[in-house]
Amino acid sequence: MAELTYRDAVTRGIAQEMERDTRVVFLGEDVAKAGGVFKTTVGLYERFGPLRVRDTPISEQAILGAAMGAAMTGLRPIAEIMFADFLAVCFDYVANQMSKLRYMSNGQLSCPLVIRTGNGGGVRFGAQHSQSIENWTMMIPGIKVVAPSSPVDVIGLMAAAVRDPDPVIFHEHKALYATKGEVPDGAIVDTIGTAKILRPGRDCTIIALALMVPRALKAAEALANEHGIDAEVVDLRSLVPLDTQTILNSVAKTGRLFTVEENPRLCGWGAEIASIVADEAFWDLDGPIVRITTPHIPLPAADHLEDLALPSAARIADKVQRVLNG
């Protein structure tokens, strides 16, 4: 057992897979010699060499295109898109290419690659470098999307993503890079498409993702101590495939659902879950489904403003108790 930072867990996860399978290669901007702008890939270049860990020009389309061509012809590439916002620059490869390839070719071609990217805000980078765009990727049929909240999940889900024969988008959270968590020794391999109940409860279900997970847990504590509300907190971990059964079972137990989403409100991932629950679990609902989200605005750079925008533990607890007690 060791305590590891989220960023070191990224390194360890990639290394674990590169060690295991020589087909795993890694490319991105400033990832090799510099060890990544967020220091998430320090030491990989030294360990695996310039053939397997490669710096690219600032060419997001080339990065994803090359990862795709390599994956199609036998490798297991990991591509870094430095800031998740930049996925917009090369979104053709996500939306039109890698996600459609298998289907259009009738199964002749496949694309076993991982795109890892720094998602989310709270680090004062301003509107073009702070967005939570996991919902953009959830919408495209044909890919898989994960967003771990803890170091152990980073490693386990990275391993699962690399081993997955489908294209996986791995949303790391920039504001979590410095956070720490316990990580067991040895190889860690998790399962994509599984959510985890981090805090069982009876009175309501709170579903959260990435940075919102520790905030939801903190809110649950406040809810218990100050309002006598016993909240069940679910770390969704995977947007596609979606672990609907865990969600539905939780709502069957508690009858109340809240989602905590860092993405801006419209078409956030919580809207899809709210729809599924309102449909399949209608007869378990004891009150309206409530989504707690960042408002539908660009993100400001100023710290006090950004902190207001992103759901905080206090805002989460306040909303939940007002809805349940009102």
Closer by beta carbon to other proteins, 152 or else 248 = 248
Exactly one of 129, 173, 227, 304 is catalytic; name it: 129
Q: Are 254 and 322 within 8 A, CB to CB?
A: no
Residue 280 binds other proteins (CB under 8 A)? yes
Given strand 238-240, what is the order of strands in its sheet? 53-55, 24-28, 76-83, 114-119, 168-173, 144-146, 238-240
Of the ranges 2-10, 126-134, 249-257, 295-303, which one interacts with other proteins (CB under 8 A)? 249-257
| Residue 165 to residues 2, 19, 270, Cα–Cα distance (Å) | 30, 18, 27
Residue 326 binds other proteins (CB under 8 A)? no
Residue 201 binds other proteins (CB under 8 A)? no
Contacts of residue 323, defined as CB under 8 A and 6 or more positions apart, other chains included, come to 256, 258, 287, 288, 290
Nearest one of 27, 43, 35, 136 to 81, comparing CA atoms: 27
CB of 217 to other proteins, least distance (A): 23
- What is the chain's Cα-based Rg? 19
List binders of other proteins among 34-93 (CB under 8 A).
Answer: 51-52, 54, 56-57, 59, 61-75, 77, 92-93
List binders of other proteins among 94-133 (CB under 8 A).
Answer: 96-97, 101-110, 112
Side-chain half-sphere of 82: how many Cα atoms within 13 Å?
21
Residue 18 binds other proteins (CB under 8 A)? no
Q: Is 173 a catalytic residue?
A: no
Q: Measured between alpha carbons, how far is 309 from 298 in angstroms, rounded to an integer?
A: 10
Total of chain residues touching other proteins, rule CB under 8 A: 67
β-sheet bridge partners, residue 290 = 258
Residue 196 binds other proteins (CB under 8 A)? no
Binding residues for other proteins, rule: CB under 8 A, are 25, 51-52, 54, 56-57, 59, 61-75, 77, 92-93, 96-97, 101-110, 112, 141-142, 144, 164-166, 193, 240-245, 248-249, 252-253, 255, 275-276, 279-287
Residue numbers annotated as active site: 129
